[in-house]
């Protein structure tokens, strides 16, 4: 994307005199700014959505006053945070206290450089993309420990120590789970990983149910691996049920206790950036990234027909169970199905890979994370370690071996 942007800049007559190196630097800067804008805007939108989702789960309305349906609430909150007094506690370590939040933010923003949004839309097509993302995102823990230690507050210290233990523990199963996918692809390049998931095939290679060639359907082992990854990643980004570093009811706000104003906003920003990153990784590695779930436009029509049938069954089920008739899922799916049948252009657009499918997948995963957060209680710190070392880690190792055996059996690799 940087290269094409530089070429595009140079294609103008007035600008062509600046030379390739300046054009390159300029486009580098533009891309970096775009990524930051994406992360910041994304956080503002996600905070709003999280509030609304939690409100709907809790029979409330959520923000309703600022803007239509409260859409400007988070903008107002962000402005409020920017105006707040910048407080550094007297006994705090000023240098670490100041740079801690920035390290977290930078680590979580920089990872987006390697994330492909679509087949053309990515900042840097790295051949070690996955490795880069995993390694850079683990720098976050450094910032958290810094922030917690520098606050000179016992609660912050507890939060930071818990966070360090948690993130380091979960990094291992998460990494091994990703390796089991890399073993299938044979590449760390995120674009290659996505490209190898094109098309439609059988479930688990042999069961004759036509499903997209995503790695979640590749083998039973990778199917489990996807959930192992999701659980591990939820822990890595400190979200409920694994939010013990900032567990509100125990540690007040954990490592964020002493922070306010802009610095606190940076924590928030990076938290949502990390959640989005995890959602991107799940959809890239297991759900086919920007690949469409449909092979061609007949696939779209048949697929939506199946979804409509499910919607009809669901409506009947709800009617029997609760004596209430809910037309929303049925109506929505029928409208989409009809439009896919009536307008072949729409169906072809749906069958083609692109940004739309990527964002759809990411949005679904983020919704899942929010659903977790507003449903589950929180684990205790030793239970969390138990889950990591005694459940998820052995499971991910078994998956890795299982995937290897599966590939040998299914003839994908020969020795």
Partner 1 sequence: MARLYAEEMVLNMGPQHPSTHGVLRLKLTTDGEIVSHIEPVIGYLHRSFEKHAENLEYQMVTPFTGRCDYLAAMGSEHGYAMAVEKMMGIELPERVEYLRVIFAELQRIASHLVAVGTFGLDVGAITPFIYCFRERELILDLFEMASGARLLYNYIWIGGLAHDVPPGFVEKTYEFLDNFEKRVAEYNQILSGNKIFIERAADIGVMTPEVAINYGVTGPSLRASGVNIDIRRTQPYSIYDRFEFDVPLGEGAQGTVGDSWDRYYVRVLEMQESAKIVRQALDQLPVEGDVQAAVPRRIRPPKGEIYFRSENPRGELGYYIVSDGKNVPVRVKMRSPAFSNLSVINEIGHGWMISDVIAILGSLDIVLGEIDR
13/382 with CB nearer partner 1: 382
d(CA 88, CA 261): 11
374 binds partner 1 (CB under 8 A): yes
For the segment 225-284, give every residue that binds partner 1 (CB under 8 A).
240-241, 243-244, 247-252
219/240 with CB nearer partner 1: 240
C-beta separation of 173 from 228 below 8 A? yes
CA 396 to mean position of chain CA atoms: 20
Q: Find the part of the chain contacting partner 1 (CB under 8 A) among 52-60, 206-214, 267-275, 351-359.
A: 52-60
Residues whose CB falls within 8 Å of the CB of residue 92, separated by 6 or more in sequence, listed in order: 150, 151, 152, 258
In the list 342, 383, 394, 413, the residue contacting partner 1 (rule: CB under 8 A) is 383
Count of residues touching partner 1 (by CB under 8 A): 27
Residue 272 CB, shortest distance to partner 1, in Å, is 18
Q: Considering only CA atoms, which of 232, 273, 212 is closest in space to residue 35? A: 273
In the list 13, 85, 90, 382, the residue contacting partner 1 (rule: CB under 8 A) is 382
391 binds partner 1 (CB under 8 A): no
Residues whose CB falls within 8 Å of the CB of residue 8, separated by 6 or more in sequence, listed in order: none
Dihedral sign, CA of 164, 277, 364, 125?
negative
Contacts by 293-299 with C-beta closer than 8 Å and gap 24+? 293/212, 293/214, 293/357, 294/200, 294/212, 294/350, 294/351, 295/199, 295/200, 295/212, 295/351, 296/351, 297/340, 297/344, 297/347, 297/348, 297/350, 297/351, 299/200, 299/351
Q: Find the part of the chain contacting partner 1 (CB under 8 A) among 262-270, 274-282, 317-325, 378-386.
A: 378-386
381 binds partner 1 (CB under 8 A): yes
> Could you give the string, one character per residue 95-134, with x where binding to partner 1 holds by CB under 8 A and - elsewhere?
----------------------------------------
Residue 223 CB, shortest distance to partner 1, in Å, is 21
| H or E element in which residue 212 lies | strand 207-212
322/414 with CB nearer partner 1: 322
57 binds partner 1 (CB under 8 A): yes
Strand 207-212 and strand 200-203: pairing?
antiparallel
Q: Six-digit token pair at 86?
A: 């910048």
Residue 257 CB, shortest distance to partner 1, in Å, is 11
154 binds partner 1 (CB under 8 A): yes
> Could you give the string, one character per residue 282-321, with x where binding to partner 1 holds by CB under 8 A and - elsewhere?
----------------------------------------
161/366 with CB nearer partner 1: 161
209 binds partner 1 (CB under 8 A): no
205/378 with CB nearer partner 1: 378
378 binds partner 1 (CB under 8 A): yes
Q: In the block, which residue shows the tokens 């125990």?
A: 250
60 binds partner 1 (CB under 8 A): yes
168 binds partner 1 (CB under 8 A): no
148 binds partner 1 (CB under 8 A): no
d(CA 256, CA 156): 7
123/145 with CB nearer partner 1: 145
Burial of 272 (0-12, 13-18, 19+ CB in 10 A): buried
| H or E element in which residue 211 lies | strand 207-212
In the list 4, 380, 405, 410, the residue contacting partner 1 (rule: CB under 8 A) is 380
- In DSSP notation, 18-48 reads G-HHHHHHHHHHHHHHHHHHHHHHHHHHHHH
77 binds partner 1 (CB under 8 A): no
d(CA 253, CA 209): 48
d(CA 195, CA 192): 5
Q: Which residues bind partner 1 (CB under 8 A)?
A: 54, 57-60, 154, 158, 240-241, 243-244, 247-252, 374-383
């Amino acid at each position: 994307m940087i290269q094409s942007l530089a070429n595009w800049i140079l294609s103008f007559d007035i600008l062509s005199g600046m030379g390739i190196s300046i054009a390159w630097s300029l486009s580098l800067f533009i891309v970096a700014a775009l990524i930051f804008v994406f992360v910041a805007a994304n956080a503002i939108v996600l905070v709003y959505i999280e509030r609304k989702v939690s409100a709907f789960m809790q029979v409330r309305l959520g923000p309703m006053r600022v803007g239509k349906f409260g859409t400007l609430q988070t903008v107002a909150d962000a402005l409020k945070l920017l105006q707040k007094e910048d407080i550094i506690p007297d006994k705090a370590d000023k240098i670490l206290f100041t740079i801690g939040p920035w390290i977290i933010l930078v680590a979580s923003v920089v990872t987006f450089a390697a994330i492909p949004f679509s087949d053309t839309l990515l900042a840097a097509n790295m051949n070690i993309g996955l490795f880069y993302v995993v390694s850079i995102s683990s720098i976050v823990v450094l910032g958290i420990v810094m922030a917690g230690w520098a606050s000179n507050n016992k609660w912050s210290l507890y939060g930071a120590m818990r966070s360090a233990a948690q993130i380091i523990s979960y990094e291992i199963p998460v990494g091994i789970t990703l390796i089991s996918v890399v073993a299938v692809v044979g590449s760390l390049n995120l674009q290659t990983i996505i490209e190898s998931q094109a098309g439609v095939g059988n479930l688990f290679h042999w069961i004759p149910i036509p499903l997209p060639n995503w790695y979640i359907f590749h083998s039973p082992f990778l199917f489990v691996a996807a959930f192992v990854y999701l659980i591990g990643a939820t822990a890595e980004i400190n979200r409920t049920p694994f939010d013990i570093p900032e567990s509100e009811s125990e540690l007040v706000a954990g490592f964020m206790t002493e922070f306010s104003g802009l610095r606190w906003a940076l924590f928030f920003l990076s938290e949502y950036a990390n959640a989005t990153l995890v959602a991107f990784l799940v959809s890239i590695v297991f759900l086919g990234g920007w690949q469409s779930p449909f092979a061609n436009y007949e696939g779209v029509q048949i697929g939506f027909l199946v979804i409509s049938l499910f919607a009809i069954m669901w409506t009947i089920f709800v009617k029997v169970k609760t004596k209430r008739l809910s037309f929303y899922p049925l109506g929505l799916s029928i409208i989409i199905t009809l439009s896919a049948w009536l307008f072949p252009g729409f169906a072809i657009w749906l069958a083609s890979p692109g940004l739309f499918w990527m964002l759809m997948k990411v949005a679904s995963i983020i919704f899942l994370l929010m659903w977790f957060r507003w449903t589950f209680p929180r684990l205790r710190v030793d239970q969390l370690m138990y889950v990591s070392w005694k459940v998820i880690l052995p499971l991910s190792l078994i998956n890795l071996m299982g995937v290897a055996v599966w590939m040998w059996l299914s003839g994908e690799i020969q020795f």
